[in-house]
Amino acid sequence: MTTLLLILIAALLLLGAPAMTNLATNTPRQYRGSDKRTISTIDAGTGIPLYVGALIEEDGNGQAQNLTAAGTTFVGIALMGATAQFDRIEYADKCSVLLTIAKGSAIAKTDVGATVYAGDGGTDINLTSTSRQAIGKIEEVPAAAVGVNTAACWVFIEGQSKRSL
């Protein structure tokens, strides 16, 4: 299933199809090192619904919304969904997560440490900063990802810090 999805995304990119946007269904992400994962909570804003697995940012009111290219406040990945404003959700704000990255050229082991950017709350995840927010760095390039333009890599994400003061 994952291989088929990667092939479909790669085909769409090669055909010049527009980038996908926010998630339309819950899409749980694969995490590793859950003992090292930091989980926080936030209220959903007006940009709902939010789905499990969505990349989220903080809006001007301090509430969660799907990440936008113009935003600057990436906070993490939704671990819970929201269907109404003020629904309280949990999100992972510091962790290692498997994300499908589109590079535009062959992914290589030397991409470890490269900054990863996102342009929406769903699947516009790549290594190009234009009209996107930085969300983390490539932590590991699996063998299956080497030599292809779009593949799943382990990314260490780190959302904007929150202080209790």
For 111-138, the DSSP string reads GTT-EEEESBSSS-EES--TT-EEEEEE
> What's the Cα-to-Cα distance from 94 to each of 77, 115, 147, rounded to whole Å?
9, 15, 28
- Please state the domain extents for the chain: 2-158
Residue 3: pLDDT band (50, 70, 90) is very low
Residue 163: pLDDT band (50, 70, 90) is low
Question: Contact at 8 Å (CB) between 25 and 83?
Answer: no
121's CB contacts (< 8 A; 6+ apart) are 21, 22, 23, 50, 54, 55, 56, 65, 66, 67, 68
The predicted model scores a pTM of: 0.83
Q: What is the mean pLDDT of the chain?
A: 86
Average pLDDT over residues 102-122: 95
Length of the chain: 165
Q: Is residue 13 predicted with pLDDT exceeding 60? A: no
Give the pLDDT confidence score for residue 164 in this predicted structure. 63
